Structure 1
Amino acid sequence: MVNAEYINLITPITYKDYMDTILMLQDEKYAPFNKSGRGNTGYLFRVSPKLADFLFDIVEKTNGYT
């Protein structure tokens, strides 16, 4: 079980707009996306700290969070 808190974003994020960077920052093993940018099948994926920081930065910039 993973406890999570969901927040509705004012401006949704289109992850495909950032796919090149996501692929570069994700771990090679057990990654959420394959090399062609398609999602891998699975329940829960590890996200590298660099990828998490990148994604949080996008959310903050596009939604005015600080």
Structure 2
Amino acid sequence: MTYLVFQGDTYNEERNGQFIWAPKFTKDGRAMHHWDRLLDVREGDIIFHCSDGYIQAISRVKTTCEDSARPDHTTGDWTNWEKDGRRVDCEYHVLKYPLKHGAHKEKILEYCNVKYAPFNREGNGNMGYLYDLNQNLAAYFIREIAKKNPEVIDLDFLKFILVK
């Protein structure tokens, strides 16, 4: 499976710690589909990491989802979320030249026409955290990323996406 995560203010800390994390419930006790999706992630899956309007990194998932307390580290603003959460460990491959996903809205619109897609009907990122990413769009992003980051083509864990 391929996923896309919108990390915002917590990107740097999650990247440095090689994980993604989300709470189990909102402060008023509601579950959120984009947080619950961590339960679907499996070892070997691929995640595209977005922050500040760019795909900043691509990772290979190292572990299935585990219960985990909120990080509460000194960087990143974790205080907006409840303490009880879930964590998935990842092996991040940070891009030297991140890809501005907003520059590819035509392709995004072609592949993100389902409920709970990472991008809305205008091709902008949806509010939320972790989303399934269409594998054809993932392959497109990899080819676009490789134009300025040719080393991604040699990452073995991405080869199954490019074969399709």
- % identical equivalent positions: 35
Unaligned runs of at least 5 residues, structure 2: 1-64, 66-87, 154-164
Deviations 1:5-35 (A, max 9, x none): 2122121111111111112122412101111
Assess if the C-alpha contact under 8 Å between 1:19 and 1:37 holds in 2: yes
Matched residues in 2 for 1:25 and 1:52: separation? 10
Larger Rg: 2
TM-score (norm: length of structure 1):
0.80
Q: CA RMSD in A?
A: 1.6
TM-score (norm: length of structure 2):
0.37
Q: Pairwise mapping of residues 2-41 of structure 1 onto structure 2 (< 5 A)?
A: 2-41=88-127
Number of positions where the alignment pairs a residue of Structure 1 with one of Structure 2? 66
Letter in 2 for 1:24: E
Unaligned runs of at least 5 residues, structure 1: none
| Moved beyond 6 Å, runs of 4+ | none
Deviations 1:15-58 (A, max 9, x none): 11111111212241210111112221222101111111111111
Question: Which residue number in structure 2 is paired with residue 47 of structure 1?
Answer: 133
Indicate whether 1:58 and 2:144 are aligned.
yes
With a CA cutoff of 8 Å and minimum separation of 6, indicate the structure with the bigger relative contact order: 1
Assess if the C-alpha contact under 8 Å between 2:97 and 2:149 holds in 1: yes
